[in-house]
Amino acid sequence: MVKSGKLRSGTGSKLKRWKKGHSSDSNPQTSRFRQAAKSRFFSRPTEKSDLTVDALKLHNELQTGQLELSAGGRKDAFMEEGPEEALSERTSGTFLSGLSDCSNLTFRKVQRLWESNSAAHKEICAVLAAVTEVIRGQGGKETETEYFAALMTTLEVVDSAESQAAVAYLLNLVMKRVPAPVLMSKFSDTTKALMDVMSKQAMSETASALRWILSCLATLLRKQDASVWNYPSTLQAYHGLLSFTVHSKPKVRKAAQQGVCSVLRGSDFLFTDNTPTHHPAAVTTARFCIKEMEQAGGSKEDTTTLHVLGLLKELMGTFPLGAVKSCCETLLRVMTLSHVMVTASAMQAFHRLFSGKPNASTLSAELNAQIITALYDYLPSESDLQPLLAWLAVMEKAHVHLASLQSSLSLGHLPRLFSAAMSCLLSPHTQVVSAATNTLKTLLTECVAPRMEEMGKISGTVSAGNPSYVCKIIVEEGLSYRFHASWPFVLQILGCFYRVAGKQAHPIMNKSLQSLADLRSTPQFPFSGELDLAVGGAIESMGPEVVLGAIPLNITGYEDDLEFPRSWLVPVIRDHVKNTHLGFFTSYFLPLASTLKQRADELEKAGQNLEAKVYQTLQLQIWTMLPGFCTCPVDLLASFKGIARTLGMAVNERPDLRLTVCQALRTLINKSCSTEEEKAEMGRFSKNFLPILFNVYSQQPAAGEPSTFRMAVLDTIKVYLTVTETQVKRLSSKDSTEFTRLSMMDLLVAMAPFVDAVTMTKTFELIRPYLETKEPGMQKKAYRVLEEMCGGEREECRSFVVANLETLKLVLLETLKNASSPAKRPRLKCLIHIVKRLSEEHKDFIVALLPEVIICTKEVSVGARKNAYTLLVEIGNAFGRFCGNTKDAMKEYLALLYAGLTGSVTMITCTVLALTRLVFEYKGKLGKVNTLEQLLHNICLLLSSRTREIVKASLGFIKVILFIMDPKTLASHVTVMMEGIGNIKDDVRRHFRTKLKNIFTKFIRKFGFELVKSMLPAEHHKVLVNIRKAEARTKRRKQATEQQDNSESEEEAPKPKSESIEDVLAESDSDLSEDEGKASNAKKVGKRQKGRAWLKEGEDDDPLNFLDPKVSQRVLATNPEMKKSTKVDHGFKVTSDGRLIIREDEEEDVKDKGTKKSQKRKFRDDNFDEDMDIQPQLKYKAGGSGIHRPLGGSRDIGADYKSKKGKGDVKKKGKLDPYAYIPLKKAQLNRRKRAKLQGQFKGMVRGAQKGALSGKKMQKKKRKA
C-alpha cells in the first residue's frame, strides 16, 4: 500500500502543482456574504429591522427551553419600531404569553406541546394563547366555564379546518371539567353548534376536527339528566354520534365508539339514587347495531359487521333483556356466514357478555340457557385450534354465569358440555387438551361443588338426564384407554372431582380408585406424580378409611411381599390427610405399626438384617402420618384419650419417634384446639405429658446419640403450657451437673410467662444469684428467665414488674459490672421492657444506664447490638413522655449523649453510632436549625481523626443524613459536610474509598457534578469523574433494558390458559403462502389470508351434506392441508424401535485414537444390538504408532492455502493468514538435527526473498505498460 501523504511514483509529472504561496488562487473572487456580515457587524442598520434585542432574547429563551412569563397583553415581538426604540426598549409580551402563563390546570397537556414542530400543535398553542388573552382582557378569572364560552364562540366563527380542529381539541379538554349545570343549561345551543360543525366536517375530505367534536358531544350527552332523553332533539344528537361508530376512518370510529360507551355506561344520572335499570338510549343503540349488521349482509369484504361487533362487545351488558335477546339472535345469524373474523368477533361479544355477570334484567337464566344450546351448533372441529379454544372459553363463562343465576338449570346443561370437553381431550393439540382440562376443573369448582349436598349420594346407576351424570362421565370415561395420551390431564380432573364430590360419590369412586391403583402398579408408569395427587384429593375429601377400603394397603407384617406394591399409599396419606378421624389411626395404624416393629425385632434377632430394616422403615413411615391425623381431627374429644398413653410412652421410650410425636402434639394444640372443651381435654393430660417432656429434656443424651430432639421437646413444652393451668412447684434440682442446671433453666424460661405473680417472685429470688455468677451460660439463662417474666403479655407479668420495680432497678445496676458478653442480649431486652413502664421519677436510673447502652452498640452479638439500638429509641420515647415536648426532650437527650464524644476511641465511636440511630428515628422531630447544625458540625469535626473506627461511624452518620433530609434543608449543610470530608487523612481516605464513592454518588445525584467538584480538594476529582461516567453508563443501560423489555412485551408468548378471550384469539392460525421467501409479498399475503376460511370435504369421497346440523364444524380457520410436522430433525439415524444411532465425529475419532484405552472404548461403544434394523458399519482408520501409523506420508504444511489457479497462497475466510507456521516438535531440541533444521529455515528465507523479488519485477512491468 502507498503510505499516507505521498503520491505513487510516476504520477508527479501528470499533476499540476501550485507555486508556493498561491494555493488559494482558485477561491471565488466575490464574497458577498462576508461583506454583508461585515456591514451588519461594524455598522448599525440603516433601515427598520425585525432583529431587536428582545427578539434575540426571545430566540435564546426558546432555544434553551426557558420561556419567560409575561403579564402584559399579547403583542407581536417582531413588530416594527423606531430605530432607537428597537435597540433599547423591551417589548411587553411575546406571541406565546397567553399560553405560557395560563393558570388553568386543564391545559397542562397543551403547554407541553409548544416546542413541537407539528403545525397542528402550533395552531393549538396559538388558539389557547389568543383565548387566554381575550379572557384576561375582559377581566376573567380563567375558569373552565369562561374557557368553554370563549371556545364555543370561537368555534362558530372560525372557518379553516386547522383552526376548527385546534378549537375542538381545546374544547374537548375543558368540557370534561365544566360544571354539569352549565352544560345542562347550554345543552341546546351547544348541541346545535357541535352538530353544525360535525355535518360540515363529515362532508369534507379532511376530518381533523371530527374526532374531537364527537368526544365533546359525548361529554355533553353524558352530563344531561334522564328527563332530557325524552326529547327528540337529544336522540337526534345521539343518533348523530352513533352513526360515526361505523365510519371508515379508524380514529373517528374509535372516538365515536368510546363516546357511545361512555354515554351508556357512565352517564351521571346512572349513579344517582333513583337510577333507572338501563339507559334510555340502550334500546335505540341495539336497534342500530342490528340494522347495520343486517344491511351489511354476507359480504365478506364489508367491514361494517366487524365494527358493529366491536361496539356490541362493549355494550351488550348495558342493554335490557329484549334487546340482548335480539342482539344474540343477530350474532348467531352472522356466525353462519362462516367468516372467520366475524365468528371470532361474535365469540368475543358473547364472552364479554357472560364475563360481565349481568343481572337477570339484562340476561335471564332462560336466555342464558338458550344461548348455550345454540352455541353447540357452532362447535368447531377438533383440528381447528384457536376457534375451539375460544368456544371452550365462552361455554365455560356461560355455564358459570348460569350457575349464579339458577344452579338447577345449570346442572341440567352440564352433562352435554362435559361430554364435549371430554372429547376435546382426544385432540392432538396440547393447548386444546389443557384448555378443556381447565374448563372441566372450573365447572366442577364453580357449578358442581355448591350443589353437591342437594345432589345427595351418587350411585352407579345414574341416568343421562340426571345432573349427577357429569360425575359418572369423568369416572367411567376418563380412565379408558382411548384417553391414554391425555392421562396426566385426566388425572388432574379426577383429583379436582375427588375434592369436590368425594363425600357424595363413594359408590362410583371405588372402581376408579381401584383403576388408579392398578395403573400405579404398572411398571414404569410415567404419570405417577399426577396419580398420587389425584389419590391425595380423594384422601382429603373422603378420608383415608374410605380410600383404604377401596385400595387395601396389603401390609400385615407376616407373609408380606417384600416389594410392598401398595406402599406408595403411605406417603400420599401422610401428605394429604387432614380433617379426619383420629380414632382411625388409633384403631388401624397403631396396631399395624406395633406389629411391624415386633416383626422387625424378630427378624433382627434371626439375623435377617435387610428384611428387618425394611419393616423398621415401614413402621416409621406409618408413624409419620400422625401429624396429618392430628390436623383438625373431627373426633378430638372422643379419641385423644385413647392415644394419649401410647404417645407418652413413645416420647419416653422411643427416641426415633420423639420428633414425630412432638410435632403431632404441637399440631393438636396450635391448629385443632378451637373450642374451650378441646383445650380443656388437652390440658387434662398435661400432668402426664409435661413430666415426661421435662425428664426427656433434662436427660443428657448418651455418647453417639443425636440431640436434635431436645429443641422439639422444648418447643412442645412451651406450646403445652399455653393450655394447662398446672403449677409447677419444683423449680430447682439437687443435681449439680452443668447440663442439668442449664436444662432446668431452659424449662424455667419456658414456664416463667405462665405462672402466677407469687410464683414469679419466688422464681426471681431463685435466679437472682445466677445473675452475678461467673458462668456465662447460667448467667445468660437467668437473664432469659427475667426477660420472659418482664416481657410477658399476661396481667401477672405486668403486675410483677410494677410490684418489683425498685428491686429490679437495684439488681440490674448492681450486676452491670459482672454482666458477661453472651448475657448482654437478654439483659438489654429486660431493660427495654422495664424502661417502657418507667415514669419521670426514674430518670436517674435511665441516665445511669445510658453509658452501658451506648457501649453495647459495638457488641459482637448481632442481637445485642439490635437490642441496644432499640433501647436507645425507647429511652428517647421515655424522655418524650417525661418532657411532653418532643423537641425539648430530644435536646436534653442529645446533651447527655454528647458527653460520650469526649471519651475514649471506643466511646466516641459508639456515641456516633447511637446518634446516627436517633437521628434516623426522630428525623421529623429534631430542630431544623440549631440541633441538626450543632450535631452535624460535631460529627464533621470527627472526620479529621486518624482513627478509622471513628471516621467509619462518622461516614455512616453522613450517609443517613443524605437519606433522611430533603434537598432544601440539606443544601444549607453541604459546605460543612464537604469540608469535613475534605479533611479526611490520606490513609483513612484510601481505606474507606468505597464508602466515600457511595457518598459522593449521592451528593452528585442531589446537587450536580460541578457543585460537588468545586467543594472538594483535587485529590477527590478523579473519583468524581469516574462516578459521572459510571452514572451515565448505568443510565444508558437502564434505557436499553427498558426498550428491550418494551419490545419483548410486544412479542406474543404462548400461555397455558388465557385470562380473556381476546388473548385466545390474538394469534391468527391462518397460514401464509408457501413461498415465504418473497418478502415483498409477505404483507399482502398475510392481509389477504387473515379472513380466509377453509371447507373440509367429506371423507372417503362422500359428498358434503350442507343440511347436516354439524356442517359448521366443516368450516375451518386453519388450512387442513397445511400440517405441522411434529418430527424433530436431530441429525441422527433411528432404528425401527425408535432408538438413536449416534456416531462420534471424525475430529473426536482422531483425538481418541492416540491411546489404546480410547481404542478399547471406541470398540465397546460401537457394539450394537442384534435387533437393530440399521447397523452402524465398523470402519478402521489408521492412527497411533507402530503398525497402526498412517501410511499416506506426512501432509504438506500449508497445502490448504495453496492457490489452484496460480502461484502463491490465498487467504481463506475463518482461517489464519497464509504465513509459514512452523510446528514445534520435541525433535527440534536435538543437537544432532540442528544443522538439518537450519538448512530448512535458510531455504525458506531464500524462497521468500525470491518471491518478493519476482513480485517487485512484475509490478514494474505493469507500471510501464
Each residue's pLDDT tens digit, 701-725:
766 566 677 888 888 888 888 888 6
Mean pLDDT across 176-197: 90
The grid coordinates listed for 1105 are 351434506
User: Cβ distance 554 to 563 under 8 Å?
Assistant: no
Q: Is the pLDDT of residue 395 over 80?
A: yes
Q: How far apart are alpha carbons 923 and 1044 in whole angstroms?
A: 40
User: Cβ distance 220 to 184 under 8 Å?
Assistant: no
Instruction: Compute the mean pLDDT over every residue in the chain, rounded to the nearest whole number.
Output: 77
Mean pLDDT across 498-511: 75
Q: Is the pLDDT of residue 1248 over 80?
A: no
Q: Is the pLDDT of residue 1 over 60?
A: no
Contacts of 790 (CB under 8 A, 6+ apart): 797, 800, 801, 808, 830, 833, 834
Helices (H), 983-1079: 986-991, 993-1007, 1009-1015, 1021-1050, 1061-1064
Greatest mean pLDDT among 79-83, 957-961, 1045-1049 lies in: 957-961
Choose among 333, 371, 310, 330: nearest CA to 1112. 333
What DSSP element (H or E) covers 340? helix 340-355
pLDDT of residue 73: 37
pLDDT of residue 688: 86
Per residue in 56-74, pLDDT (tens digit) is 666 565 555 444 333 333 3
pLDDT of residue 667: 92
pLDDT of residue 474: 64
Higher pLDDT, 752 or 680: 680
How far from the centroid of its chain's Cα atoms is residue 748's Cα? 47
User: Cβ distance 228 to 234 under 8 Å?
Assistant: yes
Per residue in 191-240, pLDDT (tens digit) is 998 998 888 887 777 777 888 999 999 999 999 988 889 888 899 999 99
In the chain, the amino acid numbered 562 is L
Q: Is the pLDDT of residue 765 over 60?
A: yes
Per residue in 832-882, pLDDT (tens digit) is 888 888 888 888 888 888 888 888 888 888 888 898 888 888 888 888 888
Residue 671 pLDDT grade (very low, low, confident, very high; cuts 50, 70, 90): confident
Q: Is the pLDDT of residue 1092 over 70?
A: no
pLDDT of residue 1136: 59
Q: 827-856 burial, b if ≥16 CB within 10 A, otherwise e?
A: bbbbbbbbbeebeeebeebbeebbbbbbbb
Mean pLDDT across 813-824: 80
Per residue in 1014-1052, pLDDT (tens digit) is 888 888 888 888 988 988 898 888 888 887 765 544 443
Q: 562-597 burial, b if ≥16 CB within 10 A, otherwise e?
A: eebebbbbbebbbbbbbebbbbbbbeebbebbebbb
Q: Is the pLDDT of residue 394 over 90?
A: yes
Q: How far apart are alpha carbons 282 and 88 in whole angstroms?
A: 67
pLDDT of residue 660: 92
Greatest mean pLDDT among 338-342, 790-794, 1174-1178 lies in: 338-342
pTM for the structure as a whole: 0.62
Higher pLDDT, 1 or 255: 255
Q: How far apart are alpha carbons 1226 and 1189 in whole angstroms?
A: 19
Q: Is the pLDDT of residue 449 over 60?
A: yes
* Measured torsion, CA atoms of residues 208, 210, 212, 217, in degrees rounded to the nearest 10: 170
pLDDT of residue 493: 87
With left for phi above 0 and alpha for psi between -120 and 50, is residue 140 left, alpha or beta?
beta
Count of residues in the chain: 1265
Contacts of 921 (CB under 8 A, 6+ apart): 873, 876
pLDDT of residue 927: 57
Mean pLDDT across 238-255: 90
User: Cβ distance 178 to 139 under 8 Å?
Assistant: no
pLDDT of residue 729: 43
pLDDT of residue 1064: 38
Cβ-defined contacts of 731-738 (< 8 Å, 24+): 731/762, 731/763, 731/766, 732/766, 733/698, 737/700, 738/775, 738/777
The CATH architecture that domain 143-273 belongs to is Alpha Horseshoe (1.25)
Q: What is the DSSP string of 1217-1244?
A: -S--PPPP-GGGG-GGGHHHHHHHHHHH
pLDDT of residue 593: 92
Mean pLDDT across 799-808: 79
pLDDT of residue 1099: 55
Q: What angle do CA 753, 758, 760 make, to 5 degrees?
A: 35
In the chain, the amino acid numbered 103 is S
Q: How far apart are alpha carbons 508 and 515 in whole angstroms?
A: 12
Q: Which of 45-49, 225-229, 1066-1070 has the lowest mean pLDDT?
A: 1066-1070
The 3 state secondary structure assigned to 47-91 is CCCCCCHHHHHHHHHHHHCCCCCCCCCCCCCCCCCCHHHHHHCCC
Mean pLDDT across 538-563: 86
The grid coordinates listed for 104 are 388553568
pLDDT of residue 21: 63
Residue 1150 pLDDT grade (very low, low, confident, very high; cuts 50, 70, 90): very low
Q: Is the pLDDT of residue 11 over 70?
A: no
Going by their DSSP bridges, the two strands 1094-1095 and 1115-1116 should be labelled as antiparallel
State the CB neighbour count (10 A cutoff) for residue 1249: 10
User: Cβ distance 541 to 591 under 8 Å?
Assistant: no
User: Cβ distance 421 to 391 under 8 Å?
Assistant: no
Q: Is the pLDDT of residue 372 over 90?
A: yes
CATH topology classification for 364-552: Leucine-rich Repeat Variant (1.25.10)
pLDDT of residue 371: 93
pLDDT of residue 1140: 66
In the chain, the percentage of residues whose pLDDT exceeds 70 is 73
Residue 284 pLDDT grade (very low, low, confident, very high; cuts 50, 70, 90): very high
Q: Which of 284-298, 397-411, 730-744, 770-784 has the lowest mean pLDDT?
A: 730-744
Mean pLDDT across 1157-1175: 41
User: Cβ distance 380 to 1118 under 8 Å?
Assistant: no
Residue 758 pLDDT grade (very low, low, confident, very high; cuts 50, 70, 90): confident
Helices (H), 1016-1155: 1021-1050, 1061-1064, 1082-1089, 1146-1152
Q: Is the pLDDT of residue 598 over 60?
A: yes
Higher pLDDT, 28 or 1146: 28
pLDDT of residue 8: 55
pLDDT of residue 1134: 66
1140 has which bridge partners? 1134
What DSSP element (H or E) covers 508? helix 506-520
State the CB neighbour count (10 A cutoff) for residue 1041: 10
